[in-house]
A and B are shown apart, each in its own frame.
Chain A
Amino acid sequence: MTTHAPAPSFIRRLLSGDLPRSRILTVILIAIVVGLVVAPFLVPGARSLNTSAKILIFIALVASYDLLLGYTGIVSFAHTMFFGIGAYGIAIASTRMEPGWTALAVGTSCAILLSVILATVIGLFSLRVRAVFFAMITLAVATAFSTLMSQLSEWTGGEDGITFKMPTIFQPAYRLFEEPVLGIVINGRILSYYAILIAVVVLFLLMLRIANSPFGRVLQAIRENPFRTEAIGYRTVFYRTIASVISAVFATLAGVLMAIWLRYNGPDTTLSLEIMVDILLITVIGGMGTLYGAIVGSVVFMIAQTYLQDVMVLVSKASEHIPLVATLAHPDRWLLWLGLLFVLSIYYFPQGVVGSLRDRARGT
């Protein structure tokens, strides 16, 4: 640590005193942040912009999950439910009302309210009984919720989902300037991208603040030893429930951002099991209980997902005459490799990228 140059105090305050604590990690993080800021100019094109936006949204989503899994040490399978509530809130409000800022505000507040109520009820109920039941009960509730969403097709569009309109400045046809800036037309897509970028930065710093507050310290104590924490005088049920509510609210906001970006929502984009697996995998790969892991993990994962599936198509085509390889390398089997990677990383790489880099910096 002594070799590090002391960070300016405003950065220290901005990051709530939780610095990356590893030189390599610092470099990586700065590169990622700069990369995400200049992405629309650096690599123009709809696909790469889409990937960058998804990275941003997943940073918020995974960081909010990390508050629960990494900091409090409880596993929830309902995180996609809250993500979905946020996205459906926007979707339903924008189709039922006049699309615009009012719809966004109403959708977001209703979604947050619903998430808070649901998370409180689930938390109080399952955590009071036994903490390990939390995972099972969240799974049951999330499954029921996603079935409900596909059945309420009049409101949610069922399996097909719904498309909706955004306020004018977020619509692709909108132009901020007549002339292109640095060779790029500043249209509604670019504007929504930067709106999401700002929102994610704020959300992330807020989560960093929460994780490094006295409250966050109690959560970590619960993770390490719930019994002892209770003995010191902290009501673990209360703290765990609050943690799950906070995490749910942030996930809901991530869902709102997702809806703003896609202008579409359906079960596959926000509620599916695959997204839950993605969240789990990114949290573990990035490093549980670090928050910065969400940034590194999301970047690695999204880039891999976008471009590795192309590789899988190639491998699958090339190995058509080898029956087993072709089946296993088929892009439909993407989840198989995710599952394998997930198990292997828990087994061999439980600290994740950020945890390992920090260990290295500490010289252990």
Chain B
Amino acid sequence: MSKPVTAPVTADIPRQPVDWLPVALPLIVAVAAFPLVGNPWTWLTLTIAGLAMGMIIFTVSSGLMLVFGLMDVLNFGHGAFIALGAYVGLAVLIPLTPWVEATSVLLNSAVFALALCAGVIVAGVVGFVFDRLLIQPVYGNHLKQILMTTGGLIIVEQLIRAIWGAETVSFNLPASLRGSWLLGEAAVERYRIVALGIGSAVFLGLLLVLTRTRIGLMIRAGVENREMLEAMGYRTRHLFVGVFVVGAMLAGLGGVMWGLYLQNFTASIGAQINVLIFIVIIIGGLGSTTGCLIGALLVGLTSNYVGFAAPKIALFSNILLMLLILLWRPQGLYRVVDR
């Protein structure tokens, strides 16, 4: 808007050198997995699948990363918003089956967008209530937070079972998202590309908000030192509620995507993915968006490679990954919060 008043400063403020090693990690894993997989086309398929899965996991984890980093709240109920997202997506897609099955790309996209929006809104509203009822009363007490939010997860999961039934539910992707493109000999599922796109958009959006806006500045300040932010006269309480609701919305968005990715799931989908999210958060380091993304990509990639090359140890691959990262960097990939 206005020109800078002062002359441009030639010497920049001293910055911390960017730590590139964690960023290169997914690449290293991908390259290292190549000899294990053998066939380059299979490798490409697996890599894209892993990246897509990683992006969805990032979308669902990013909210918890913010909540944990900024508010220091251990939310074991984050999976509830994901489960809610998946079921709301289902509730939108099933009645609109004609749109889902239509050959028109426009109708397909419309119904897909509608499901995503519905998931986001419902998760946001429930997130707001969740924060009021379960998080605020036990603020600043880790032990009670874990207990309260675990209780919350159980309640939401049981309500989902009461509403939608306990059986495995399944639904179809919108017609034009089904099937795959052939890239050489590698089959790339369309939906995975869409998931990659949405995940990247969420990442870029978060990064932009966090680094380029005033709110983002406050959130980052709060993550690093909450007391100082409060001492400067900002009401962190409002910020917290906002961040929690946005975190729940992101979980809802990711929940719809995760549900469509799995296609068959039960109400325990939330509790199941909770484990993955925690691993991602621990790997990434508290409060670091980039760390969270890298952690999610690593989890996605290793799950796919190991699932292909050595299905027997696939169960423990994520825990093994976490173990290795923590041996290397006990505070996670990026250390933002010093608590």
Which A positions have Cβ atoms within 8 angstroms of B? 69, 73-75, 125, 128-130, 132-133, 135-137, 139-141, 143-144, 147-148, 151, 273, 277, 280, 284, 327-328, 330, 332-333, 335-336, 338-340, 342-343, 346-347, 350
Contacts of B281 in A (CB 8 A): 136
Does B228 belong to the interface (CB within 8 Å)? no
Per a CB cutoff under 8 Å, which of A133, A144, A342 touches B147?
A: A342
Prevailing SS type, chain B contact patch: helix
Across the A-B interface, how many residue pairs have beta carbons closer than 8 Å?
A: 93
Can you report 25 residue pairs joining A to B where beta carbons are below 8 Å apart? A73-B143, A74-B143, A75-B143, A125-B326, A129-B282, A129-B330, A130-B331, A135-B76, A136-B278, A139-B274, A139-B275, A143-B272, A277-B154, A333-B161, A336-B162, A339-B155, A339-B158, A340-B155, A342-B147, A342-B150, A343-B148, A343-B151, A343-B155, A347-B137, A350-B144
Q: Is the CB of B152 within 8 A of A343?
A: yes
Nearest-neighbour CB distance to chain B for A92, whole angstroms, equals 19
Other A-B pairs, 4, CB within 8 Å; known A335-B154, A336-B154: A140-B318, A141-B319, A143-B272, A339-B154
Q: Is the CB of B166 within 8 A of A346?
A: no
Given A137-B282, A333-B161: A144 in contact with B144 (beta carbons within 8 A): no
Per a CB cutoff under 8 Å, which of B74, B151, B166, B278 touches A339?
A: B151
Does B243 belong to the interface (CB within 8 Å)? no
Per a CB cutoff under 8 Å, which of B76, B148, B158 touches A335?
A: B158
Within 8 A of A (CB), among B287-339: 315-316, 318-319, 322-323, 326, 330-331
Contacts of A343 in B (CB 8 A): 134, 148, 151-152, 155
CA distance A129 to B74 in the complex (A): 16
CA distance A335 to B155 in the complex (A): 8
Contacts of A340 in B (CB 8 A): 151, 155
Nearest-neighbour CB distance to chain A for B274, whole angstroms, equals 7
Per a CB cutoff under 8 Å, which of A125, A128, A135 touches B74?
A: A135
Q: Is the CB of B151 within 8 A of A144?
A: no
Residue in chain A with minimal CB distance to B277: A136
Q: Is the CB of B142 within 8 A of A273?
A: no
Q: Is the CB of B161 within 8 A of A332?
A: yes
User: Nearest 6 pairs between A and B by C-beta?
Assistant: A336-B158, A339-B154, A136-B278, A343-B151, A339-B155, A342-B151
Residue in chain B with minimal CB distance to A223: B143
CA distance A238 to B70 in the complex (A): 29
CA distance A74 to B282 in the complex (A): 17
Contacts of B331 in A (CB 8 A): 129-130
Residue in chain B with minimal CB distance to A70: B143
Q: Is the CB of B278 within 8 A of A333?
A: no
Given A277-B154, A332-B166, A343-B155: A140 in contact with B147 (beta carbons within 8 A): no
Contacts of A69 in B (CB 8 A): 143
Give the residue among A69, A128, A140, A335 with the most B Cβ atoms within 10 A: A140
Per a CB cutoff under 8 Å, which of B154, B166, B322, B330 touches A140?
A: B322
Contacts of A125 in B (CB 8 A): 323, 326
Give the residue among B134, B144, B275 with the most A Cβ atoms within 10 A: B275
Nearest-neighbour CB distance to chain A for B139, whole angstroms, equals 13
CA distance A232 to B12 in the complex (A): 45
Per a CB cutoff under 8 Å, which of A75, A128, A135 touches B330?
A: A128
Q: How large is the interface on B (under 10, 10 to 19, 20 to 34, 35 or more residues)?
A: 35 or more
Within 8 A of A (CB), among B239-273: 271-272
Contacts of B316 in A (CB 8 A): 144
Q: Is the CB of A147 within 8 A of B315?
A: yes
Contacts of A328 in B (CB 8 A): 162
CA distance A346 to B144 in the complex (A): 7
Contacts of A73 in B (CB 8 A): 143
Q: Is the CB of A135 within 8 A of B162?
A: no
Contacts of B137 in A (CB 8 A): 347
Nearest-neighbour CB distance to chain A for B163, whole angstroms, equals 8
CA distance A25 to B150 in the complex (A): 30
Contacts of B271 in A (CB 8 A): 273
Does B208 belong to the interface (CB within 8 Å)? no
Does B159 belong to the interface (CB within 8 Å)? yes
Q: Is the CB of A280 within 8 A of B319?
A: no
Q: Is the CB of B275 within 8 A of A140?
A: yes
Residues 66-78 of chain B, each 1 if its beta carbon lies under 8 Å from chain A, else 0: 0000000010100
Does B177 belong to the interface (CB within 8 Å)? no
Nearest-neighbour CB distance to chain B for A144, whole angstroms, equals 5
Contacts of B126 in A (CB 8 A): none
Contacts of A133 in B (CB 8 A): 282
Residue in chain A with minimal CB distance to B74: A132
Q: Is the CB of A75 within 8 A of B155?
A: no
Does B138 belong to the interface (CB within 8 Å)? yes
CA distance A210 to B323 in the complex (A): 31
Residue in chain A with minimal CB distance to B312: A151
Nearest-neighbour CB distance to chain A for B20, whole angstroms, equals 23
CA distance A343 to B318 in the complex (A): 31
Per a CB cutoff under 8 Å, which of A140, A346, A347 touches B278?
A: A140
Given A129-B326, A339-B151: A136 in contact with B158 (beta carbons within 8 A): no
Contacts of B30 in A (CB 8 A): none
Contacts of A148 in B (CB 8 A): 315
CA distance A148 to B281 in the complex (A): 24
Contacts of B138 in A (CB 8 A): 346
Contacts of A132 in B (CB 8 A): 74, 142
Residue in chain A with minimal CB distance to B323: A125
CA distance A333 to B166 in the complex (A): 10
